Copies of this chain bind each other. A is one copy, B any other.
Amino acid sequence: MEAIDSIDQNLLRLLQADGRATYSELAGRVGLSVAATKRRIDRLCAAGVITGFTALVDQTKLGWAVEAFTEVRYVGTTPPEDMLRAMSEIPEVAAAYTIAGDPDVLVKLRARDNRHLQNVIERLRRGRATGTKSMIVLDAYRREG
């Protein structure tokens, strides 16, 4: 993979701030032609530096008001891949992270309300999980989005 110079870093920053910015707008900001700008962005995508583009959606406005993190502990023999696979099969799981140490997995959840959250946590605990500890989010700061 090619080295990432300051122009590339600028493009990444601009595209993180506005993923639908036009090539001509980006070109103007980084001081290159439209063609050169597109070439660099195509390269960043091909190299896997940019993994995609997405719309940021306010889940609260869609009626999913509850956000929570749950720590999950598993029986000692469970392979980490199995933990993540089990979590990925639960639709309310927004993300899951295997952890060095204790707990084994940290799961980010989205639910409509507390009753729904309780139901999700029940499903998390099925299988080889030995215990959970949940933290309900009251407020959040997010660097992007």
Contact = CB atoms under 8 A, between A and B. Distances in A.
Contacts of A135: 97, 99-101, 103, 106
A100 B136 contact: yes
B80 A139 contact: yes
Interface residues of A, number: 53
A35 interface: no
Copy total for this chain: 2
A30 interface: no
A95 B142 contact: yes
Contacts of A19: 19-20, 52-55
Contacts of A141: 84-85, 87-88, 93, 95-97
A67 to B, nearest CB: 8
Contact of A143 (B15, B20, B95): B95
Given A57-B12, A93-B143, A138 B99 contact: yes
Interface in A126-145: 135-145
